[in-house]
Structure 1
Amino acid sequence: MAITGFDLSAARWRKSSYSNASGGDCVEVADNLPGVVPVRDSKAPNGPALIIPAGAWMPFVQAVKGAALRA
């Protein structure tokens, strides 16, 4: 399911705790919008954001933490 045309003006972005201090590898998420979790590259804040349905966010995070998605 693609979500397009979503208004992100109210998004409160926070940087991942896994981002490094030198500004590289930075991912930001906004978890204050109902029903979706936008994800963006903090080095390109005016660039595109990936809009993930909220119900899919936690299973994704749990899979990453559990190394299920590592090659």
Structure 2
Amino acid sequence: MNDSSFDEPTSPQARLEALRAEHRDLDDAIARLSEAPAEDELLLRRLKKRKLALKDRITALERALEPDELA
């Protein structure tokens, strides 16, 4: 049985913090992999794409949480 309530935080603020933490972790992993003598280019590209996708989700969630200043 797969209970999705344990997979993702329920509040938007909690989701935002989880995404930020994952983004930081990916940043650290990318930095370590880049310094490795025999770096894996494919893995590095995949991690960078994942990091970019997370950044897009973070930005979208931040915009949804902020009040619209132009309204």
- When normalised by structure 2's length, the TM-score is 0.30
Q: Which has the higher helix share?
A: 2
Larger Rg: 2
Higher relative contact order (CA 8 A, sep 6+): 2
